């Protein structure tokens, strides 16, 4: 494919030691050569080499740079690629970029480098999406999952399933067009049944990893709730290892929502420290309490903090009722003080949910809490090395649709429907799986997906 040569800054904006400007396209080397001054011209150098020189406009030296030259097809985009390593100042980097644009390059759209890698057959769509997952990874485990997907582990499995379906459809056509036996209809339906069950089982196994995959990719919205002054802000500070929230003995200190990301033994949590939930006449605190109630409703996971040195109050019981439909862990704080809480009632209210004892004042029990969170979401965990890990929301939805199509095939066989009718649902499953890898995808979807990428990627 012939595309315009594009350019963009590939490093984050701001001051830094180095900034990189990337070009890709048929004229990438020629455009860079027009503004680069060194002993040797870039169109004469070997591929995958780096060269020292200066960027100039007319006689004015703009930057001292190192330029990497990579010739097609052994590049990320399978086009000629040039990367200009500048000093990391905002002004100098932008001047170099503007100079490239004036010399024939076009400013890249968000994700356009990765989109070209896909369109040029360098990667498939699931691998392209894994690039963004890798950039956004918040834990080592999430990073490993993204790397495996970039390597094509998911793609290979999906293509294998599609090939199974395609072989089955082809055999069905042969049986219909060239029947050798009187019972060809029965034999064909038996073959369809066996293959559909086999493919369906593989899709189900993939979907079993979906919940953990989504957690790794997007993190868990985790609300820390409780009455005022039970230790919610102290818990936040302990988990993030930073004094982010103000901690005092005065009830109602936290007036607004505080959010922080934290890696708890490979589980990414978006911690939300809420204002203490209680009835209050303070207008500002009342607003904070309402926001806390909303955060509770939107949360994927709850840390319900209680003061074990006090008896349970009606506010505590109301909080148990509010989190009844959520996954939660009860944090019994202030174990350094005498116990007054009724443990039998706490256990009854908690049901099967974990109870962890802590003294945040003396740093006791936080490790046990982290272990409980890890066990809750990764019991019998699927290791990041598993080649069949699925974490992308779009992929998960397509797998569920494919599962529904395969169920329709099984239902059609059970009802004795004609084979050519059953084939329609089988073909639909094949198409849906193809949307994961991009083998069957609309241009509008491509634009939507790649627009989520950052510039320069």
Q: Tell how strand 16-24 and strand 106-107 pair up.
A: unpaired
Tens of pLDDT, residue by residue over 234-258, are 888 888 775 444 333 434 444 344 6
Residues 339 and 255 in one domain: yes
d(C-alpha 102, C-alpha 96), whole Å: 10
Q: Maximum distance among all alpha carbons in the chain?
A: 87
In the listed set 124, 159, 180, which residue is the last one of a domain according to the structure? Answer: 124
Residues 229 and 355 in one domain: yes
Q: Which alpha helices (DSSP H) does 208-331 contain, by range? A: 210-218, 232-240, 283-298, 314-322
d(C-alpha 335, C-alpha 341), whole Å: 11
Alpha-carbon distances, residue 56 vs 10, 18, 29, 32, 121 (angstroms): 21, 18, 16, 11, 36
Residues 300 and 397 in one domain: no
User: Please, are residues 288 and 314 in contact by the beta-carbon 8 Å criterion?
Assistant: no
45 confidence band (pLDDT: 50, 70, 90)? very high
Reduced to 3 states (helix: H, G, I; strand: E, B; else coil), residue 391 is coil
The encoded tokens of residue 225 equal 């709730």
d(C-alpha 89, C-alpha 439), whole Å: 42
The percent of residues in the chain predicted with pLDDT above 70, rounded, is: 82
* Nearest Cα residue to 260 out of 247, 271, 268: 271
- Per DSSP (E only), the strands in 414-453 are none
28 confidence band (pLDDT: 50, 70, 90)? very high
Residues 226 and 371 in one domain: yes
428 confidence band (pLDDT: 50, 70, 90)? very high
- Answer whether residue 446 is part of any domain: no
In the listed set 103, 124, 145, which residue is the last one of a domain according to the structure? Answer: 124
The encoded tokens of residue 194 equal 């066996």
User: Please, are residues 294 and 319 in contact by the beta-carbon 8 Å criterion?
Assistant: no
Task: Find the radius of gyration of the CA atoms of the chain.
Answer: 29
User: Please, are residues 406 and 202 in contact by the beta-carbon 8 Å criterion?
Assistant: no
Whether the model clears a pTM of 0.85, i.e. scores above it, the answer is no
Phi, psi of 208 (to 5 degrees): -65, -20
Q: Which residue has the higher pLDDT, 3 or 105?
A: 105
Residues 108 and 174 in one domain: no
DSSP 265: T
Q: Is the pLDDT of residue 48 over 90?
A: yes
Tens of pLDDT, residue by residue over 295-354, are 677 778 889 999 999 999 888 888 888 888 888 999 999 998 999 999 999 999 999 899
d(C-alpha 317, C-alpha 343), whole Å: 13
Tens of pLDDT, residue by residue over 135-169, are 777 777 777 777 888 888 888 999 999 999 998 88
Residues 374 and 395 in one domain: no
The percent of residues in the chain predicted with pLDDT above 90, rounded, is: 37
Number of independent structural domains in the chain: 3
User: Please, are residues 226 and 254 in contact by the beta-carbon 8 Å criterion?
Assistant: no
**Angle, helices 28-35/90-102, rounded to nearest 10 degrees:** 120
Which residues, in sequence order, are CB contacts of 118 under 8 Å at separation 6+?
124, 125, 127, 128, 438, 446
Residues 114 and 142 in one domain: no
Residues 116 and 259 in one domain: no
* Nearest Cα residue to 231 out of 362, 367, 320, 340: 362
Residues 226 and 374 in one domain: yes
Q: Tell how strand 60-70 and strand 327-333 pair up.
A: unpaired
180 confidence band (pLDDT: 50, 70, 90)? low
Residues 242 and 268 in one domain: yes
Reduced to 3 states (helix: H, G, I; strand: E, B; else coil), residue 82 is strand
Residue-range definition of the domain harbouring residue 282: 222-378
The residue to which tokens 């193809």 are assigned: 434
What CATH number is associated with residue 299? 3.40.50.300
Residues 31 and 96 in one domain: yes
- Answer whether residue 456 is part of any domain: no
- Burial pattern 170-192, b for ≥16 Cβ within 10 A else e, equals eebeebeeeeeeeeeeeebbeeb
Residues 394 and 293 in one domain: no
What CATH number is associated with residue 15? 3.30.1360.120
């Amino acid at each position: 494919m012939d595309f315009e040569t594009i350019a963009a800054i590939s490093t984050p904006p701001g001051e830094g030691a180095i900034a990189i400007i990337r070009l890709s396209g048929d004229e990438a080397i020629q455009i860079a050569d027009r503004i680069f001054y060194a002993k040797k011209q870039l169109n004469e150098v070997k591929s995958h080499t780096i060269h020292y020189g200066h960027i100039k406009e007319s006689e004015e030296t703009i930057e001292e740079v190192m330029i990497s030259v990579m010739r097609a097809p052994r590049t990320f985009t399978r086009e000629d690629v040039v990367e200009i390593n500048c000093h990391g100042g905002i002004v100098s980097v932008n001047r170099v970029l503007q100079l490239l644009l004036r010399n024939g390059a076009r400013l890249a759209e968000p994700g356009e480098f990765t989109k070209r890698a896909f369109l040029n057959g360098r990667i498939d769509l699931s691998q392209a999406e894994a690039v963004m997952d890798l950039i956004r990874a918040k834990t080592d485990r999430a990073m490993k999952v993204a790397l495996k997907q970039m390597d094509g582990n998911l793609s290979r499995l999906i293509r294998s399933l599609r090939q199974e379906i395609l072989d089955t459809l082809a055999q069905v056509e042969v049986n219909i067009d060239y029947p050798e036996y009187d019972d060809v209809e029965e034999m064909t339906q038996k073959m369809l049944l066996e293959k559909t069950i086999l493919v369906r089982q593989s899709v189900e196994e993939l979907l079993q990893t979906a919940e953990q995959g989504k957690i790794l990719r997007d993190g868990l919205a985790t609300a820390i709730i409780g009455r005022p002054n039970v230790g919610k802000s102290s818990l936040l500070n302990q988990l993030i290892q930073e004094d982010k929230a103000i901690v005092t003995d005065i009830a109602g200190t936290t007036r607004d929502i505080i959010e922080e990301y934290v890696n708890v033994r490979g589980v990414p949590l978006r911690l939300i420290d809420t204002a203490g939930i209680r009835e209050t006449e303070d207008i500002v605190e009342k607003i904070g309490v309402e926001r806390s109630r909303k955060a509770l409703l939107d949360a994927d996971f709850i840390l319900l903090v209680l003061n074990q040195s006090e008896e349970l109050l009606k506010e505590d019981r109301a909080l148990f009722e509010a989190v009844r439909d959520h996954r939660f862990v009860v944090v019994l704080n202030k174990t350094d003080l005498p116990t007054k809480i009724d443990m039998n009632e706490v256990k009854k209210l908690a049901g099967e949910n974990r109870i962890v004892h802590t003294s945040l004042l003396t740093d006791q029990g936080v490790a046990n809490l982290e272990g409980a969170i890890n066990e809750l979401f990764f019991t019998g965990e699927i290791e990041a090395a598993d080649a069949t890990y699925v974490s992308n929301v779009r992929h998960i939805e397509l797998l569920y649709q494919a599962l529904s199509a395969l169920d329709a095939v099984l239902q059609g066989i059970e009802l004795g429907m004609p084979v050519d009718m059953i084939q329609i649902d089988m073909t639909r499953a094949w198409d849906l799986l193809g949307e994961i890898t991009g083998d069957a995808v609309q241009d509008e979807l491509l634009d939507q997906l790649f627009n989520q990428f950052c510039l320069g990627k």
